[in-house]
Structure 1
Amino acid sequence: MSDQTVLEVEDVRTEFQTARGLVRAVDGVSLSLRAGETLGIVGESGSGKSVLGRTIMGLITTGHTTQVHGSVRIAGKDVHAISAKERRRLWGSEVAMVFQDPMTSLNPVKRVGAHITEALRLHLGLDKKAAAERAIDLLRQVGIPEPARRMSQFPHELSGGMRQRVVIAMALCCDPRLLIADEPTTALDVTVQKQILDLLTSLAESRDMATILISHDLGAVAGRTDRVQVMYAGRVVERSATGEVFEGPRHPYTEGLLASIPRLSDPPHTTLRAIVGSPPNMANPPDGCRFAPRCPYVQDRCRTEQPELLEIGVRRTSHVAACHFPLPDVDTGSTGDAPPRAALAEEIS
C-alpha cells in the first residue's frame, strides 16, 4: 500500500430540496483514501452511502433543488470546483464507478465490445483495432470465457454475473486510481456474489488501486477492506480498521448491525435479531443523536445534543465514533461514561 493520498473528502454535505422540505442525504462526511487501500462503507438503505459515492464521482448535478457543499479532491482536483468538461476527463482515467444493478447498467442495444471500446477511444485515443484488442484483454482479465466472441454479443445474451464482469471491465479500462463499487453484487446469487467481490479485491491489489466498497452487507466487507465506515442517516457514526469494528464495535448502531448477522452456529429456527424502529425522516430528523429513538442505551443527553465524531480507545489505529456513551473497548474493558448494557449474544469473528 502506497502513502500517496488518492482521495480527500472534507465536510461534504449533499442537500435535496423536496416537497417535504430540505433533505440532507450526506451530512458533514470527511474521509481520505490512499493508493492500494480499500474502504468499506456500510449502513441501512437510506443512510447516504450511494449518494456519497455519487457525490465523490461528481455525478450529483447542482441546481435549484440540489446543492453540494464541502470539498472532494481526486488527484489534487476539487471535483465540484472544476468545469463539467474537466470532470469528464477525470472519469475513467482517475476515478470510475461500478453501479449496483448489472441488469440496467448496460445499454441493451449496444454490443458488449462497444461499451468498452468507446471509453478506450475517447480517453486513451486508441484506434479501432487497438481498442478492440485491449477490450478483449480486459474481458479476459475479469474472467469472461471466450472474450473475443462476447465482444459481438448483446447484454441480454449474458448472465447477471457476466454482465457485472463487463461493467467492471468498463470501469477499469482506463486504469483509474480510484474505484467506487456501489453494491456491486445486487441481484446476483450468493456464489456469483463471492466471485465478483473476490475479483474486485484481486484487481485492486494487482493495480495498487484505491477502492471504496459500498454495501449494506457487513459480510461483504469483512476480510476485503482495510477500514470500515458505518453511516446512519447521512452521517458517519463509526470508522476504524475492519478487524476492530468487527471485534469491538463502539457505537450502538454498529453493534446492532453486527448482532443482526445470521450465524451458522445458531440452532435451526432461531429468530433473527433486528434493530427496533425505522430510520428517521430525513426531511425532519430528530434533535440530538439521530439514532437515539432506536438506541437501547439512550439517555437524556442523546436526545438533545448531537454527538461529535471523536477518537476513542487506546489502540494504535485510529478508531472514531459519534456517541456520547460509546460501548466498552473489548481490550481494556473500560466503559468510561457508558451506562450498563447487555452484551452481544455472540462475539462476531
Structure 2
Amino acid sequence: MSEPLLDVEDLRTTFHTPRGDVHAVDGVSLRLEAGRTLGVVGESGSGKSVLGRTVMGLVSSGPGVTVSGRVSLAGQDVHALAPAERRRLWGPRVAMVFQDPMTSLNPVKRVGRHIDEVLRLHLRLGRREARERTVGLLRQVGIPEPERRAGQYPHELSGGMRQRVVIAAALACGPDLLIADEPTTALDVTVQRQILDLVASLSRRSGMAVVLISHDLAAVGGRADRVAVMYGGRLVESAPTSRVFGAPRHPYTGALLASAPRLSAAPHSRLPTIEGRPPDPADPPPGCRFAPRCPRAEAVCRGGAPPLLDLAPVGGHPHEVACRLPLEAESTEVGHGR
C-alpha cells in the first residue's frame, strides 16, 4: 500500500458539558491514500461530523473541548500548527463541504463572492482573473448560466444548485483532500446522484482524496474504496467496500445493512429496525457500546472495550472489526448500488 495522504492516529474529541464529558470521537484511527475515497457511515450522533471537523482542524482544544491524537496530512501534523498556519491549509490542501448549503453560504453575499474570495486570498489572483475562474468553476460543477448565477444570492438558487456552489468553493484551490459531510442532505434522489457523481468524477480527474460522510449506505456503496463504520464515537468496522457490504463482521454493520429497504421485499412488509437507542455520549455503557442493542451480546461484551483487530485481510487490505463475537465471514445478499 502507498503512503497515506491522511493518517489519523487515536483521535479523541471530548466536549466538557454540565452533564459530564461527551466523548464525541473516542480513539479513531484511519488512513487514506491520494485519489481514494473513504466512506464514513453510522447513525446520527455516532460522531461522523465531529470526526470530519476535527480532522479538518475546525475543532481544537480550548475552553470546553479537549482534542488529542494525531492528524497528519501528507506528513504534516495539522493540530501542531498555529491557527494562522492551519487556516492556510484550508482551501489549497484540505477543504470541506458542509451538510446544509443554506447555512454554510452567507445569505447577504452573492454566489460568486463565495468563490472568488477564496481564489484571491489563497491564489493571489486579481479581481478579473478570479471572476473568470469563478464562472469556470460554476460551469464545471454543472450550474447553467454561470455568469448570471454568480451575481445571484443563495436564496435565489435551489438546494441542489446551492450545494454545487459549496462544492465549487471547496474545489476552487484544487485541494488534496475533500471532506464531504452529508453533501446530499435534503436533496431529491436525482440531485443526490448528480452531486455524488460529480464529486467522484472530480476525484478521478484530479487525484483528490475524499472522505464521504453519510448515514446513507447506498450513497457510499458504489463510490467509496473503503468504508469505516462508526458507533458511539468509536470505529467498529473498517474494510474494503465490497467486504463491508458483502460480508460484514460487526453485528452493528450487519444490522445497518439489514435495515436498508430492498426491492425484493414483499409489498407492505415491515422494514427491519435496530432495537433500542444509540448510547448517551455523556454516559456510555461499559464495554462494547453496541452491546445493549446487540442480540449476540454476552457478558464478555460488557467487560471492556473490544480492540479494533484485523480479522481477515483481503489482498493486503485489512478488515478491522471491534467485536468479541463477530459475525461469520459469510457472503450476504445485501448489495450496494451506484
TM-score, scaled to structure 2: 0.97
Partner of 1:285: 284
AA in 2 matched with 1:34:
E
- The secondary structure found in structure 2 opposite 1:103 is helix
CA drift at 1:314: 5.4
Partner of 2:320: 320
CA drift at 1:6: 1.3
AA in 2 matched with 1:348:
G
Q: What is the correspondence of 1:120-159 to structure 2 with a 5 Å cutoff? A: 120-159=119-158
- The secondary structure found in structure 2 opposite 1:52 is helix
Task: Find out whether 1:95 has 2:82 as its counterpart.
Answer: no
AA in 1 matched with 2:321:
A
Determine the C-alpha separation between the residues in 1 that align with 2:251 and 2:60.
34
Partner of 1:340: none
The answer as to whether partners of 1:238 and 1:320 remain within 8 angstroms in 2 is yes
Partner of 1:6: 5
Partner of 1:84: 83
Partner of 2:24: 25
CA drift at 1:284: 1.2
- The secondary structure found in structure 1 opposite 2:237 is strand
CA drift at 1:3: 3.2
Partner of 2:107: 108
Q: What is the correspondence of 1:121-200 to structure 2 with a 5 Å cutoff? A: 121-200=120-199
CA drift at 1:193: 0.7
When residues 314 and 8 of structure 1 are mapped into structure 2, their CA distance, relative to the original with a 3 A threshold, is: closer
Determine the C-alpha separation between the residues in 2 that align with 1:198 and 1:87.
30
The answer as to whether partners of 2:38 and 2:225 remain within 8 angstroms in 1 is yes
AA in 1 matched with 2:186:
A
- The secondary structure found in structure 2 opposite 1:297 is coil
Task: Find out whether 1:66 has 2:65 as its counterpart.
Answer: yes
CA drift at 1:276: 0.4
AA in 2 matched with 1:117:
D
Partner of 2:264: 265
CA drift at 1:4: 4.7
In structure 1, the gaps of 5 or more residues are 332-343
In structure 2, the gaps of 5 or more residues are none
Partner of 2:227: 228
Determine the C-alpha separation between the residues in 2 that align with 1:315 and 1:175.
32
Deviation per CA, 1:264-311: give whole Å up to 9, x if none. Answer: 111110101100000111111111111000001011100112110001
Stretch moving more, 163-172 or 60-69? 60-69
The answer as to whether partners of 1:182 and 1:215 remain within 8 angstroms in 2 is yes
AA in 1 matched with 2:293:
R
Determine the C-alpha separation between the residues in 1 that align with 2:3 and 2:168.
25
Percent identity between matched residues is 64
Determine the C-alpha separation between the residues in 1 that align with 2:160 and 2:280.
35
When residues 86 and 314 of structure 1 are mapped into structure 2, their CA distance, relative to the original with a 3 A threshold, is: closer
The answer as to whether partners of 1:155 and 1:163 remain within 8 angstroms in 2 is yes
The answer as to whether partners of 1:252 and 1:327 remain within 8 angstroms in 2 is yes
Determine the C-alpha separation between the residues in 1 that align with 2:109 and 2:326.
52
The answer as to whether partners of 1:40 and 1:221 remain within 8 angstroms in 2 is yes
The answer as to whether partners of 1:8 and 1:33 remain within 8 angstroms in 2 is yes
CA drift at 1:131: 0.2
Partner of 1:299: 298
The answer as to whether partners of 1:41 and 1:230 remain within 8 angstroms in 2 is yes
CA drift at 1:178: 0.1
Deviation per CA, 1:20-41: give whole Å up to 9, x if none. Answer: 1011100000111111000000
The answer as to whether partners of 1:75 and 1:94 remain within 8 angstroms in 2 is no
AA in 1 matched with 2:310:
E
CA drift at 1:91: 0.2
CA drift at 1:80: 1.1
Partner of 1:310: 309
CA drift at 1:160: 0.5
CA drift at 1:240: 0.3
The answer as to whether partners of 1:178 and 1:210 remain within 8 angstroms in 2 is yes
CA drift at 1:313: 2.3
- The secondary structure found in structure 2 opposite 1:140 is helix
TM-score, scaled to structure 1: 0.94
The answer as to whether partners of 1:38 and 1:226 remain within 8 angstroms in 2 is yes
Determine the C-alpha separation between the residues in 2 that align with 1:179 and 1:306.
31
- The secondary structure found in structure 1 opposite 2:104 is coil
Determine the C-alpha separation between the residues in 2 that align with 1:3 and 1:306.
31
Determine the C-alpha separation between the residues in 1 that align with 2:160 and 2:305.
43
- Over 2 Å off, 4+ runs: 2-5, 313-317, 346-349
- The secondary structure found in structure 2 opposite 1:40 is strand
The answer as to whether partners of 1:237 and 1:323 remain within 8 angstroms in 2 is yes
How many residues are treated as equivalent by the alignment?
335
Determine the C-alpha separation between the residues in 1 that align with 2:129 and 2:273.
53
- The secondary structure found in structure 2 opposite 1:11 is strand
Partner of 2:43: 44
CA drift at 1:65: 1.0
**C-alpha RMSD of the superposition:** 1.2
AA in 2 matched with 1:79:
V
